[in-house]
Every structure is written in C-alpha cells, then in structure tokens.
Amino acid sequence: MKNILRSCIFAVMAIALLPAGTLAQERRDKEQTYVLEHPYEVTKITPPQGKKIKNVILMIGDGMSLMHVYSAWTANRGKLFLDNCQTVGLSKTYCANKLITDSGAGGTALATGQKTIYHAVGVDPEGRPLKSLVDLAAAKGKSTGLAVTCRLWDATPADFCCHNIDRDAEAAIVADYVNCNADYVFGGGAKLFENRKDGRDLFAELRAKGFQTPRSWEDLVTIKNGKVFAVPYSVDTPLPADRGDLLARASLKGIELLNLNKNGFFMMIEGSQLDDYGHFNDLDLLMQETHDFDRTIGEIYKWAAQDGETLVIVTADHETGGLTLVDGDLKEGKIVCKFSTGGHSGVMVPVYAFGPGAQEFTGIFENTAIFDKIKKLLNL
C-alpha cells in the first residue's frame, strides 16, 4: 500500500514538474536577456573593528556561484551589498559519492562538517544522524535559528535540524523539527505540519514543547520573546516581487529574539529559491531572487556592523543551472546569459566573510571546513 501511495505521489509530482521541466529544456542553451529597470542603492558598510566573536550568521544562497553574483552585480549597475565583505575564499562542494552535489549533501557538509551521500540530509553515508551547528551552539547555551524562503522540508533548512538518508521523505523530515534545537524557525511548508497522513499535528507538538507558532507575519511581529516556529505559507513563500523584503524582515525578527540571549546565537539564513529558478533556467526570477538575497545580506551586514561581535559568512552549497554570462552592459544594467543544465554543475563556490574572524575564510578549502572554522571560532 505504501509503495502504491509513493508511486502515485511521484506520478503527481512528475506531472506537476513537467511543464517547468519542459520549459527549462526549451530555454536551455538559448540566450536570455535581463535588464534591471530599477537598480537599488548600495551603501558602504564598515566592518566592526573588535575581535570578539559572540554570534555567527551563516547565509546560504542555494545554487549561487560567482556567475550568479557577477550577473546580479552587472544588472545592478556594478554594485552589490555583498561587495562590503572583507575576505573571500573558495569552497569545494563535491559529496561522498558524487562529484556534483545537491543541497542535501552540500548543506549537510556546511551544517555538520561531514561529506555525506547525494540526497542525504543531516546523516552520514551510513544514515547515522549527525549533530549540526544548531545542536552544537544550543549545547553551549547559545540561541539558534533558521530563516528561509522555501518549504521547510527542503534540503537546506532540513540539513540543520532533520535526519534522513532520503531528502524525498518529506513528511518524515518535517517531523524531525519537533525535536530540533532551533529556537527560531521561519519558512514555508505548513501543509506537511498539519493534516498529515499519520494524524500528527506538528504545530500542536511544537506548542507542547514551548514554541509559539504564528501563522502570519502580523502574528509574528507581535512576539517579543520566547521560542518561535513561524510557518505562514503552505509551501514556499511568495515570488520575490510579491513578498517584498520578507526574508530580510524575517531574519531581523529572528535576530531580535535570538540576541536576547547574552551567550549569543547561531543563525542560518537561506536565499532558497535561487536554486529553483536555476533549475527552471529562468533568468528573470533568478536575478530577482539573487537581488533579494543581496539586499538581505545588506540588512544583516548593517546589523552586524552595529553589533560588533557578529561574524557573517555568505556562501553556497553548489551551483545550479550552469549559468554563463555571455554579454551585457554595466551602464544599462543589462545581462545576456545562457544556462547549460537544468541541474547542478561542478564548480567551487565563493565564501564571503564580514566581521571578526573574517580572515579565517580566505584560501581554497573543502565545504566541510566552513563548519570546522565556525565551530572553532564559536568554541563549540
């Protein structure tokens, strides 16, 4: 019965994915032109001078390579908030059994410091659960949080809180959030928290564990302290143009709450849908999402500069779409790009650091080294 059910779900998913996949196929290898009509202002943000590291904010642009960043930079007339970073390094993203990784294994490397197998989340190659930066920071008395624009069963947030050898086991994956050590979670995916086939109401279970579970932005902003699990959307958050600066607001709200802890905090913020729009080979949406992520980076840098004891790392888990910038115009904010795949490609991804400890993130290193460095700097 379970197998039949699984096949049915896969069949429905395949039909649902078909139009996007076919569309991507049609777009592949064809030049796409994008012009940013209204460029945004980018201010200079001076990094703090102190050396003490109390908090770490890890920002992951899912599928974001240098090509995405340089295309977004060109479209915004040669400026990005990301340019305020102090140091840059390169991360090698291959996983335990494949050269070209996914967000399951790629994110698990960042979250737990272990290379695992393709499509695994928060477990080693044998399927054994791994402790993430969320678990380690919580064990040291720090507060911890996640803010993403995707459904919470998606691999990147799940890598920090959930444990499964198969990222497609979505209903099982979200159930792991009930036992996660995060104090603040913001994302989409409410439909698998309630009305579940197993009869569980995960929101009720989270409330029983002391979480507040706001289901709208309006309810979230009224919360002034305590643990929060905010899931305002059934699946993903709205498209970048419709949601405004939601990722920045949701991230800063999390920081406001996590920062009440005098021991500091660890937070992961994801520009989740760069990956989706890379898979769709949709340059327009991809640039909208990249610019949204960059403006979020700007807000986080500003907060960190004021705070003085916060290290901000911006990186990616892998590249998506095989994006190539083939032409453009800096003055007009015009880019001409091609995609070479509807999947991920193999390339080192950039690691940008801002704040105390930034100098530790220069050079060429394994993706797992990002975990190692954060662990060491926070003394976890």
- What's the min distance (Å) between Cβ of 103 and Zn ion? 6
- What's the min distance (Å) between Cβ of 366 and Zn ion? 20
Report phi then psi at 257, rounded to 5.
Answer: -75, -45
Handedness of CA 16, 18, 21, 27 (dihedral sign): negative
Shorter beta-carbon distance to Zn ion: residue 237 or 320:
320
Q: How far apart are CA 115 and CA 134, in angstroms?
A: 17
Check residue 289 for interaction with Zn ion (CB under 5 A): no
- Give one DSSP letter per residue of 141-181, joined into a string: T-EEEEEEEEETTSHHHHHHH--BS-TT-HHHHHHGGGG--
Shorter beta-carbon distance to Zn ion: residue 64 or 202:
64
Q: How far apart are CA 211 and CA 201, in angstroms?
A: 14
Count of residues making up the chain = 380
Q: Which residue is nearest to Zn ion (CB)?
A: 275
Shorter beta-carbon distance to Zn ion: residue 93 or 132:
93
- What's the min distance (Å) between Cβ of 278 and Zn ion? 7
Shorter beta-carbon distance to Zn ion: residue 166 or 194:
166
- What's the min distance (Å) between Cβ of 365 and Zn ion? 22
Shorter beta-carbon distance to Zn ion: residue 104 or 333:
104
| Residue from 86, 44, 43 nearest 314 by CA | 86
Q: Interacting stretch for Zn ion, rule CB under 5 A, among 3-11, 38-46, 251-259, 269-277?
A: 269-277
| Residue from 33, 26, 85, 134 nearest 312 by CA | 85
Check residue 275 for interaction with Zn ion (CB under 5 A): yes
**DSSP secondary structure letter of residue 294:** H
- What's the min distance (Å) between Cβ of 329 and Zn ion? 30
- What's the min distance (Å) between Cβ of 316 and Zn ion? 11
Measured between its terminal Cα atoms, the distance across the chain in Å is 45
- What's the min distance (Å) between Cβ of 90 and Zn ion? 20
- What's the min distance (Å) between Cβ of 71 and Zn ion? 18
Shorter beta-carbon distance to Zn ion: residue 10 or 372:
10
**List of long-range contacts for 152-156, beta carbons under 8 Å, 24+ apart:** 152/177, 152/185, 152/187, 152/188, 152/189, 152/231, 153/189, 153/192, 154/103, 154/189, 154/272, 155/102, 155/103, 155/104, 155/107, 155/121, 156/60, 156/62, 156/103, 156/107, 156/268, 156/270, 156/272, 156/317
Q: Residues binding Zn ion: what is the number (CB under 5 A)?
A: 2
Shorter beta-carbon distance to Zn ion: residue 270 or 275:
275
- What's the min distance (Å) between Cβ of 320 and Zn ion? 5
Q: Interacting stretch for Zn ion, rule CB under 5 A, among 224-232, 256-264, 274-282, 330-338?
A: 274-282
Q: Which two tokens stand for residue 86?
A: 């102090």
Binding mask 29-48 for Zn ion (x = CB under 5 A): --------------------
Within positions 314 to 353, which residues make up the interface with Zn ion, using CB under 5 A? Answer: 320
**Single-letter residue type at 76:** N
SS3 82: helix
Q: Which two tokens stand for residue 180?
A: 């996660």
Shorter beta-carbon distance to Zn ion: residue 320 or 367:
320
Within positions 70 to 109, which residues make up the interface with Zn ion, using CB under 5 A? Answer: none
Shorter beta-carbon distance to Zn ion: residue 275 or 282:
275
Instruction: Give the footprint of Zn ion on this chain (CB under 5 A).
Output: 275, 320
